[in-house]
Structure 1
Amino acid sequence: MTQEELDALMNEGDSGLQGIDGVESTQEQATSEDVVANEGFDPNNFRVHASKHWPPPPPDKDHKVVHQLDDVTRDTEVKAGEVFDQLDIISSNAEEIIKSSKKIKSYLTAQEELFSKLVEHFPNVESFKSALESTRSILDEVALVSESANNCSDAILQAMDIMQFQDINRQRIERVINVMRALAQYMNSLFESKIDDTKRVASAVYITGDDNPNIADAQDIENLIASFGQKK
């Protein structure tokens, strides 16, 4: 914009300035919409997203990814072994219950046959009838106990299958760790140098173009040189 155009706008008053603001505002909005359309992201949302995730966490022991994954796989393997041990104990006890129930059922079956014969020969003796009914009732209870023990065994087998799936997940995590370590080694090899970092020249803190008050501009440098010439 030339000086004549600026003077004309100043003479028109606030309406002219408002027109400029409106044009600039429209241009900024159009530019923002073009960015969204061309690049597929919203600058405002991008700034919010960046503010939540930057800077990244420091590389201490609480944030080292591979260390944490190693801890997860180690603890998972240990706890899975402990769970398998407990399931094995429960399975053994269930098998013992099934065996004992078979022995009890065999004895009660013999008692049922005995009391059935006694009731047949002595129908008027109530104690024989009562003993026969009790024996049959206990046989039904033993059958329920045996069925429950079998159900426990089946549930234990299913739990072991589920724990096998957990072990597969642990192996998947270990595979991810191996890929991450291989990638890290590749990146280290890619960026390695023949020069030791301690022998490199220190990088400049500020360079030309940085918006920082500590940077000396061309005028400051000329003044500094002129001051050297004035010293006696």
Structure 2
Amino acid sequence: MTQEELDALMNGDVDLDLETEAEVKTEESNTEEDALMLEDVKIADYKPNPSVVWPPPPPNQEHKVVHQLDDVTKDSELKATEMMDKLESINNFFADSESLLKEINKAIEKNIDIFSKLNEKFPNVESFSEALELNNQAKKSSKEIVGNLQSGQDEVMMAMDAMQYQDIHRQKIERVINVMRALSRYMSSLFEGKIDDKKRVSSAVHIEGDSTADVVSNDDIEALIASLGQK
């Protein structure tokens, strides 16, 4: 019994014989509020301190382990899918560019054929020889571009293969989640009682030997009983 409870008894505000319906409802309401307190704890109410082990983080949405792991697997899978789609688009751009270069190479080959004949027929015309040289250089550059595009496609394929780690990590995280859920069910079953928690007697605020502050001594209780008997 606290000092506040003792004062209430002394003032006659509390009936010792009967517990009113309002008090019962108040206790039930307090019990429900206590049960919901853990769910409604805001992240701002908890300040993590690496040097302090207790109390642990509140079991709100930000600290529920399985929820967090589920979010990690979900978000990672979404981002991995987006990354694979981007890599596939890049690979398609490379393939399309290679096809376009093949068409350009056909035109270059035609130009080389024409300017070769013109240069043979008119060796003194410098423009024909210059045009032939430019087309030969363009053909060489085109081959280098095709080689670079093919190398880019190879790199994309290797990146796609490397992205397979995401699926492996997802499977490992799901394995951890399943183990944690199994442990949770085991612990719940281990500590399960025959009496409903709502019907259990609440814990004592103070037990003899505790260092609880603001409690009423036996002398105070005896004095209270004596004063009530005089009324």
The normalised TM-score by structure 1 is: 0.70
Alignment correspondent of 1:196: 196
- Aligned residue for 2:57, secondary structure, equals coil
Aligned residue type for 2:222 = L
Alignment correspondent of 1:165: 165
For 1:136 and 1:179, the matched residues in 2 are separated by 67
Deviation at 1:223, TM superposition (A): 8.0
Alignment correspondent of 2:88: 88
Alignment correspondent of 1:120: 120
- Give me the identity figure in percent: 46
From the superposition, tell whether residues 223 and 131 of structure 1 become closer, same or farther in structure 2 (CA, over 3 Å). Answer: closer
Alignment correspondent of 1:155: 155
For 1:94 and 1:222, the matched residues in 2 are separated by 90
The runs of 5 or more residues in structure 1 that have no matched partner are 1-48
The runs of 5 or more residues in structure 2 that have no matched partner are 1-48
Alignment of 1:51-90 (within 5 A): 51-90=51-90
User: Mean alpha-carbon deviation: is it higher for 108-117 or for 142-151?
Assistant: 108-117
Alignment correspondent of 2:24: none
For 1:125 and 1:229, the matched residues in 2 are separated by 132
Deviation at 1:121, TM superposition (A): 2.5
Alignment correspondent of 2:131: 131
Higher relative contact order (CA 8 A, sep 6+): 2
For 1:50 and 1:129, the matched residues in 2 are separated by 78
Aligned residue type for 2:210 = D
For 1:186 and 1:231, the matched residues in 2 are separated by 54
Deviation at 1:104, TM superposition (A): 2.0
CA RMSD of aligned residues (A): 2.5
Post-superposition CA distance 1:32-79 (Å, at most 9, x none): xxxxxxxxxxxxxxxxx9852321111111111111111111111111
For 2:140 and 2:164, the matched residues in 1 are separated by 37
- Does 2:222 align with 1:224? yes
Deviation at 1:84, TM superposition (A): 1.1
Q: Show structure 1 runs of 4+ deviating over 6 A.
A: none
What count of residue pairs does the alignment treat as equivalent?
182
- Aligned residue for 2:78, secondary structure, equals helix
The normalised TM-score by structure 2 is: 0.70
For 1:88 and 1:183, the matched residues in 2 are separated by 41
Aligned residue type for 1:138 = A
Larger Rg: 1
Q: Which has the higher helix share?
A: 1
User: Mean alpha-carbon deviation: is it higher for 120-129 or for 101-110?
Assistant: 101-110
Deviation at 1:192, TM superposition (A): 0.9
Deviation at 1:88, TM superposition (A): 1.1
For 2:128 and 2:229, the matched residues in 1 are separated by 133
